[in-house]
Structure 1
Amino acid sequence: MVEEQLAHTKAEAKKTVEKLEQSLKQWAHEYYEQDAPSVLDATYDEAYQHLQALAEQYPDLITEDSILKQVGGQSLKADLPKVSHPVPMLSLGDVFSTEELMDWVKTTQKQIETPLAYNAELKIDGLAISLVYEKGGLVQASTRGDGTIGEDVTQNVREIRAIPKQLKEPLSLEVRGEIYMPKQAFVKLNQQREKDGLKTFANPRNAAAGSLRQLDATITKQRELAAFLYQVVDPVQTLGVKTQAQLLVRLNQLGLPTNHQNKVVQTKEELTAYINTQTANREQLAYGIDGIVIKVNELALHPVLGNTVKVPRWAIAYKFPPEEAETVVRSIEWTVGRTGVVTPTAVMDPVTLAGTTVSRASLHNPDYLLAKDIRIGDTVLLHKAGDIIPEISQVVLAKRPMDTSTYVIPTQCPICDQPLVHLDGEVALRCLNPLCPAQIQEALTHFASRQAMNIDGLGPKIVQQLLAQKLVTNVADLYRLRLDDLQNLEKFGQVSATNLLNAIAASKQNSLERLLFGLGIRHVGAKVARLIAEHFQTLPAIQAANGEDIAAIPGIGQVIGDNVAQYFASQRVQELVFDLAQLGVNQDYLGSKTADQGPLADEIVVITGKFDHLTRDDITAWLQAQGATVTGSVSKKTTHVIAGDKAGSKLTKAQALGTPVWSESQLRDIMDK
């Protein structure tokens, strides 16, 4: 395709180069500096290849400020200190087919007399990072920036649990790798941002970059970032290793997180088999990858092969081809969340994408919908953002029906018919009617959810019936329900009604953090609720606190502090809290009184894999109720690992350390005792 795009005359080439440079620089600015790309990686790569091809044909058209001579993006935030990289952090060259990859292998082999071996590694979809350790202690962390000057993100990186502040040996070295956001953390973050009326991240890489480059390190801490490290400046001298494969093992011995999916290959067949295997397994990984990195395994050969201006000659990145599917938009639905945010969703003809059937895709907010100019009847290209979330990449204008018109954004709530508004600084539309049935239903469902008040049996359908029968108008009314009320509901008998009433009554004894989370305060998730409850101990104490008092809690910050203070300043909320207290709902923090006395008080447990009968939230909640500490990574301090299907590297590490492992069935037996 690139060859077909080459200009026929130098004059045409000059115009094309200028246009490509302008587009590529704008896209790079959006990707690297704003963490908000407007085009797919594949679109950028194709334009970049086109420019490279023109540069080979007309080298004098390429100026010194060409994007072809830049590494990564510029160092962005003026408020973040700058860091100089004495040894530049280079980008990798890209290939987009196995044929191109084999050409690179052939060219590389020609420069070395002895047969080469290669270390094949997963290409993590994240943000390049440099970590400097002195005598084993982390003293500096910085982004790549333009390859020569990056940003100092030391305080933020210190909040990432996967990165040790102290190595297991007192060594001084600079280690490089990738900060990434796990898929589930990405989904969770975007869901929360959508609920809060904020712009969602396009993919995990941009979410990771946006989370790391915060001026407030507490925000980074909340984002659940992780890391894989794979490079050391002068590794032979610093660590005494001879190969890239040995380097990964050595880094792991020092306590640094490494990816264990690498493999040393020598033949074309071995390399092809590795690529095919990892491509097939891509969906099952807990993190995003966008290709395979192939490195000459013998480290002593790296300086021999050398670098170009911006890429090393001893490594190459094979990029996965984008997976897209074509479908037709049949309607656009609008849903109202518990905070009043009104979200559009495209309803499309079902299509298979990345192994799953997709018929719906979030359009996030009105600005997104209008920017894409998506209309009813449009044929669109669908992809999965970060291999996870279905997303419309573009409209196929050539197939647009003649009778379509620009979609008209609603001005009234689709549920209560009240006006929709844009609040300052938000891209979302919001229904501000506190009596909107959709908001009340979502608020009640959230209040009863497992991480909140955990009222077993009170799901969305039951809530819907309670509202339709006008048995409840807010969460306090749940505690006024009687047996006669519930027996009138559809498919409810005496037994089911009694069970639900018992579950509602039991929820009165929950610890404060569950109530605080269940109230649905903006930006207050389960972890934040626990921090606040643990600090203040009682709900009246929280009500009496101001935004600064709450923000001063480690891990909270001013935005959350102000939101909580504003929430409890509301007369309606104060009446609700008083009502709940009168109904006997506990408003004290019980964690500090019960956790240490639990039967698992000394246990440090890691949960990994997929489970048939229990959710991770179920397991975590039960473990914490027994006094255990639940962590995300396996270490020598881990006392047990609970492993489901496809447990992966955490199970492997636990087995290597001799850590006891419980299966799901073993755990259920323990829970039933």
Structure 2
Amino acid sequence: MTTEERIEALRQELREHNYNYYVLDNPTISDFEFDMKLKALQDLESKHPEFYDPTSPSLRVGGMVTKSFETVVHDHPMYSLDNSYSKEDLEDWEKRIQRILGNSEVEFTCELKYDGASISLTYENGRLVRAVTRGDGTQGDDVTTNVKTIKSVPLRLKGSYPPKFDIRGEIVLPLEGFAEMNKERIANGEDPYMNPRNTASGSLKLQDSALVAERPLDCLLYGVVGTNTGISSQWQMLEKAREWGFKVPTAAKLCASTQEVMQFVDYWDVHRHDLPYETDGVVVKVNSLQQQDELGYTSKSPRWAMAYKFKAEQASTVLNEITYQVGRTGAITPVANLQPVLLAGTTVKRASLHNADQIAKFDIREGDTVFVEKGGEIIPKIVGVDFTKRPADSKPTVYITHCPECHTELVRTPGDAKHYCVNYYGCPPQITGRIQHYISRKAMDIEGMGSETVELLFKEGLITNYADLYGLTKEQVMPLERMAEKSAENLVNGIAASVQIPFERVLFALGIRFVGETVAKKLAKAYRNIDALMAATVEELTTVNEIGERIAESVVEFFQNENNRIIIERLKDYGIQFSLSESQLQNQTDKLKGLTIVVSGVFETIGRTELKKLIEDNGGKVGSSISSKTSYLVAGDKMGPSKRAKAENLDIPIVSEQEFLAMI
């Protein structure tokens, strides 16, 4: 046997033992024997670097140091899930699904929702090539070196698999391993870690992969994403992933109704405490991938999945004081400042009170003992008052009438839950909040600049709006606190570089109320440049897909404001991108303008996503369900008969894939 063959034989043997131990939980050799074989492999590899293999089991011990983690755009976005807390929520979700699918038969896959750090693994030709954190769902950090140290993540796949795909899952820290880590920290005189989830997430961003390798991290997988995977259902996806060598939890069930789903939920709400990992709910998915495709996505979440959250953890503590925060839109948010209390593994000191109605509903007062809950939300909330402990001298809360920052009288419009400070251009938190939003990662992504720098620049009178950023010089910035020459240079260069940010992100950065990332993309695509958008009426804007009256009115109001128009003209002078690029404008027409088109079934020539893109690129609106407003139904194979019948009853033209392509 040649040296190369010996190395490869050892690698293959170690891969198999690793799989048996960490995925199947069925070791066939002792830890000592495994360690001896691993040492033999490391010795051979160090003497023969010409046989280097990035998927070798020897890399699992770590040792590489990552100074900074590269930002990577996900090929397929990592959406968040809508939450439900009752059987009624699930039943309402099922009704919405049936409306879109036309009362087709639907199966559901139920899986436990593990509480960890979301990860996307990319495999090419059966080898792990990249591991990326969820980040903001659009882009995350490349943590491949650290993830390679996690023993349950296969570096090479088994059996027959697609040439390229992404698989999504959770990096978790088993409760037993977490307890051992804390035992060691306490013995060393260090503070214990607060909870497994945050510790798992923090582990992925450690610079030294050898430290990551020492932590007992695990990786549980649940979703394959890609084209031509040969998979037709979520259940089949779970089975295939297991065959390829992934650790896929067996606590899953195929259900024919939401009644069966609730039986699964009720069982695991009790038995979840027997699991080796933290779990906070059940994820319910439409089983058929073809139906998933047909249901599609909202701006934030898939319509075909729902997270049923177990009852949230609750604690009681004293509310010391109610303070008020001013947001960048002028919205006032009351905040409960609490006696610190441990809740769901973290120390809670503050909780949102939402608005005046919420305070009145629960009759919340300073000095009260309140019940605090941490469920699906990141920020804890107050869900009740322990009236038996209310102080004798307690006084009802009187909501503030004037802005706590600039003392302008607050306004509350009918139907709106929040109070607003209308001093849009004179209220400091609104001014700095808009600039902080403008420079943020999802917006203009200005490097070398953070929230504190914005506050300093405003305080020193150097900026009063985001257009002022582009006039800053290194000499102006250097005298600021904690600002050396190099950091001042980086800041000015970061601002200059932001003129390359594309139009849709500029539109989001402007901070128009109700215009998030997705809405900004749709408006940029529909109007193509800022001047056309500024001239649009409310009626014209509401013809754009997913743009309702509230958003349309907000957009028109923003551009009618003279101050905003002056700022935009200044930004134009600085070279900000206020129109789609040439490449984005390619293949865009108005051929389908004013038409609403519903897509249903399986297509031969192009995928459903590409077909929907063609509709939007040609000025049309993609409808989610058939109604009297539908202009055409593009029908593919396996379209539900009830959908066809509804279209025929409403005299909606039904066209084939080829007929649609001929139209454009």
User: TM-score interval w.r.t. the shorter chain?
Assistant: 0.3 to 0.5
**TM-score normalised to structure 1 length:** 0.46
**TM-score normalised to structure 2 length:** 0.47
